[in-house]
Structure 1
């Protein structure tokens, strides 16, 4: 029952960015209320099959209204993300531009917004019968993206604020999910900080203290009320953000340094850690215990972890230059090793990010990888067990530091798609993955040490970057109103 309501909440959170675009406070209130209601319903003792049916129908309704932001409900990583709503925020502004392989009756049913035909047949069959054709008439799509070029969209230049509350390298910076105001930072000084960046002046809300060694990784829960962190002190900690206190300490079963962590995207009661003894472990956040069959050894220290959006595939990156893919059962937590891909033998893979939809021109599910080979690598995901094919390499300086990168959050409706990475030459780089030549569209100068991590807030009005000296810079986009 708990797994089902967590999946329902994850589904709602996935579409939350599309709700009331001019009222983010309502979106936050909505997702918190949904969390509360789902928790209460999970305790009612109803038949789990009824709630699974509810989850399936709700997925169809949300997909029909907003279009799928990720993989289709069928779970296939080769399936296409479409909109079944004509006009508005759908991103498919002219339904006549869709290439339907089915009959005209299909088109009439879909464009009219009727769900009757969808519920009578498998959702996946409807999705697979549609091919998106980018057109010059996609006015709503261009309006959502601001109608600008990629270079104009990422013309970050001015500094909004500089934080220096940490006394050692800041390893990670992250904004909350669907949040443009709250930023969290993790440092090798053993602390985490929660910062409010809007309104001006930006302030440090609280410091999270408890780890006895450097914090190597952390992640927000879907509802942004909890942070999970891991540390060189061989513990994972669960933090209540509102109270600023540690709720639970989970010790590594091998007493090994913990180097990476990630929540399961559909069930935040399940998380994964990677340690310095080359083990990946799936654990339950409520009990602090591992799942049976949820542990596996890889070729090196586990420096990076990433799930695909369905939670079916887990990738790990290690210090020997390998990426391993696993399939995971969300109910049992069991890991099954699938593939091994060598990025560069003997050189650490320090960051992995997965996206299932980049842009209308670059639509393949993709993996973004930092490796200590002076390059940022973009891979195409080519099978349902996580096999990869290298698409592009972008030049960044990285030979020794744990550099991280990220996809831009607002890609789906733009002519082009951007990725951003830190670098050992103290710069932040913006690359357009759709450009064959001169892909670098912007470079930010301001740090005085290698830049370790970068992240956007949800509307891309602000960019945060952190470095090895503990400085965090908040950059503002030119022409974008903050607040």
Structure 2
């Protein structure tokens, strides 16, 4: 209870922080760091915290007036003009996901704790501010608790380390001359591949943070997303603004001859765990399944179209999310104010709607993710960013407003990307102003 109230105070400070020294981002970052530390160290009863929130809110409104999250700056070429939903809370609008109604054995394995208790956070562990523009993507290294990579519209990537309770920026990777749209870690974390609006893919060697290879497209091509091929990390899949999926070979530094034309701007790619299928999402509301043949050709299979003309900004694959939900799923963010859960129904990668959640999302590249640890509880959890500046933990089994099991409020602008480390002890989130917040997991009772 106390932790939740502390979080409300921090959210209040973050919401008004943009009004403090508007020309000095460094001061605002230092202020919010200090406020986070003070709130963690302060011991009050629940009643005292409630009174403090009331007084703090009144004082801030008196000084700065009413405020709302600023999401006016665009981080992409998306030009979407739809009405903004009034609801702040994510809520679901369609059928059942987890087939079993009871999961007593699963709950017993984890001591009967609830989903909300499992995803309670004690507050901000650290705030990184090494980037001068929006941080488009954050991602922890594979099976690594402390290493984190970030990409930004400022054209740089950074590698951070949270080890030994002393978070540091290990390196800033410079080379792209335009915005970095995304990146991926290789399976053993020795390489990072990055995509940029400058038309290039760069491969970075993590051991010395040097650029190992540059793979360049034509001058009028923008690379909007990239991923390693899961079973062959010598190959990279890239999507561009020409609606093309292409394969690049790291060893040769060249693209292969095969081109798979999807159409639109390809904004997101997700592979299955075997590397045989991938799904690509574009700015036309289409998700296309693609089969990766043995000769490294790409064969377009099935297309799934959302009802509205929107952009598919994020795709995440999960073979199964809990003991009670074992079908393969895709988690999708779209700029029609929605997050979708789609089931994969056949061997051609066909998709079917399972659940739809409303979320504040119209303009930016907002991402979501499955929680990495398989749930032994009744229910299954995903996490998404939002243009209202919040991070939502959503139980995909629950209906209506009950689906949100936790909300983190610390950003004062749109939350663009999120990433858990492998054991869920840290959550990294990034925003439109270039801040990266590291959240530490805790217990609701603290």
Alignment of 1:109-258 (within 5 A): 136-137=104-105, 142-143=109-110, 147-253=112-218, 255-258=220-223
**RMSD of aligned Cα (Å):** 1.9
Q: Structure 1 CA distance, aligned partners of 2:429 and 2:226?
A: 20
Asked if residue 290 in structure 1 is aligned to residue 290 in structure 2, the reply is no
Aligned counterpart, 1:262: 227
CA contact (8 A) 1:192 1:215 kept: yes
CA contact (8 A) 2:121 2:443 kept: no
Aligned counterpart, 1:459: 423
Aligned counterpart, 2:276: 312
Aligned counterpart, 1:434: 397
CA contact (8 A) 2:385 2:391 kept: yes
SS across alignment from 2:116: helix
Unaligned runs of 5+ in 2: 1-99
Aligned counterpart, 2:264: 300
Comparing 307-316 with 216-225, which one deviates more in the overlay? Answer: 307-316
Say if 1:430 and 1:476 are closer, same or farther in 2 by CA, change over 3 A.
Answer: same
SS across alignment from 1:459: coil
Asked if residue 377 in structure 1 is aligned to residue 349 in structure 2, the reply is no
CA contact (8 A) 1:157 1:444 kept: no
Asked if residue 272 in structure 1 is aligned to residue 240 in structure 2, the reply is no
CA contact (8 A) 1:230 1:258 kept: yes
Q: Structure 1 CA distance, aligned partners of 2:157 and 2:430?
A: 13
Asked if residue 362 in structure 1 is aligned to residue 329 in structure 2, the reply is no
Note the C-alpha offset of 1:455.
Answer: 0.7
Q: Structure 2 CA distance, aligned partners of 1:454 and 1:142?
A: 28
Aligned counterpart, 2:88: none
Higher relative contact order (CA 8 A, sep 6+): 2
SS across alignment from 2:215: strand
CA contact (8 A) 1:344 1:373 kept: no
CA contact (8 A) 2:160 2:171 kept: yes
CA contact (8 A) 1:291 1:332 kept: no
| CA-to-aligned-CA distance 1:4-51 (integer Å, 9 cap, x gap) | xxxxxxxxxxxxxxxxxxxxxxxxxxxxxxxxxxxxxxxxxxxxxxxx
| CA-to-aligned-CA distance 1:108-147 (integer Å, 9 cap, x gap) | xxxxxxxxxxxxxxxxxxxxxxxx99864458x824xx65
SS across alignment from 1:199: helix
| CA-to-aligned-CA distance 1:309-339 (integer Å, 9 cap, x gap) | 111111100011111111111x311111101
Asked if residue 423 in structure 1 is aligned to residue 386 in structure 2, the reply is yes
Q: TM-score, normalised by structure 1?
A: 0.69
Q: Structure 2 CA distance, aligned partners of 1:368 and 1:256?
A: 28
Q: TM-score, normalised by structure 2?
A: 0.74
CA contact (8 A) 2:103 2:378 kept: no
Note the C-alpha offset of 1:307.
Answer: 0.6
Q: Structure 1 CA distance, aligned partners of 2:206 and 2:220?
A: 26
Q: Structure 2 CA distance, aligned partners of 1:404 and 1:165?
A: 21
CA contact (8 A) 1:362 1:434 kept: no
| CA-to-aligned-CA distance 1:242-281 (integer Å, 9 cap, x gap) | 2011000000257401000011111111110001111110
SS across alignment from 2:165: coil
SS across alignment from 1:151: helix
Q: Structure 2 CA distance, aligned partners of 1:396 and 1:138?
A: 30
CA contact (8 A) 1:170 1:466 kept: yes
CA contact (8 A) 1:186 1:217 kept: yes
